[in-house]
Amino acid sequence: MRTKVFPGNYESLSIIAEFVRQAAEEVGLDPCATYAVETAVDEACSNIIEHAYGGENIGDIVCTCFIKSSELVIQLQDTGRSFNPDLVEDPDITAPLEERENHGLGLYMMRQWMDEVRFSFDDGINTLTMVKRKETVC
């Protein structure tokens, strides 16, 4: 297990990506699965900054990677506003150009590309846990 604290700003995104990419490589995820993890973590951290904290440099993002033989578990924690993920509708990815909307795509990508996505909100701490298994085919 390894944990690192990152300032909640968009400049942190590429540094967090490097942190989780290393963990994904240690687990032995293939490049496609590693890219999926990088995407999910980027989307989650962008949402934390934009929606939970409501802007950059309001609070930190704590990223913990649990490196297991068969899977990578990533936990992201913040102390911003909580939300109900069930209220975020999936975007209509078949809609014509003019009807494409600007929200919901990030959460949709996380749910599609990770094997598990779980949110919990306790004592002022928001925790997102995401799992990517080695045997999952991209």
Partner 1 sequence: MEITHTAFKHSDLLKISGRIDSATSPQLADALSKITDNGGYRIVLDLSEVSFISSAGLRVLISAQKTCKRYNRGEVVLAAVPANIMAALELAGFTTLFKIFPETLEAVGSF
Binding residues (CB under 8 A) for partner 1: these are 10-11, 13-14, 17, 31-32, 35, 38-39, 42-43, 46, 49-50, 91, 93-95, 97-98, 100, 102, 105-106, 108-109, 112-113, 138
> Rounded to an integer, what is the distance from CA 9 to the centroid of its chain?
15
4, 38, 31, 27: which is closest to 110 by C-alpha? 38
In the complex, least distance from residue 123 CB atom to partner 1, rounded to whole angstroms? 28
In terms of CB distance, is 98 or 122 closer to partner 1? 98
């995401």: which residue's tokens?
Answer: 130
> Do 127 and 76 contact (CB within 8 A), yes or no?
yes
- Residue 119 and residue 14: Cα distance in Å, rounded? 23
In the complex, least distance from residue 57 CB atom to partner 1, rounded to whole angstroms? 13
Beta strands 2-7 and 60-67 are: antiparallel
70, 62, 56: which is closest to 41 by C-alpha? 62
In terms of CB distance, is 66 or 108 closer to partner 1? 108
In the complex, least distance from residue 82 CB atom to partner 1, rounded to whole angstroms? 21
In the complex, least distance from residue 35 CB atom to partner 1, rounded to whole angstroms? 4
In terms of CB distance, is 90 or 116 closer to partner 1? 90
In terms of CB distance, is 125 or 138 closer to partner 1? 138
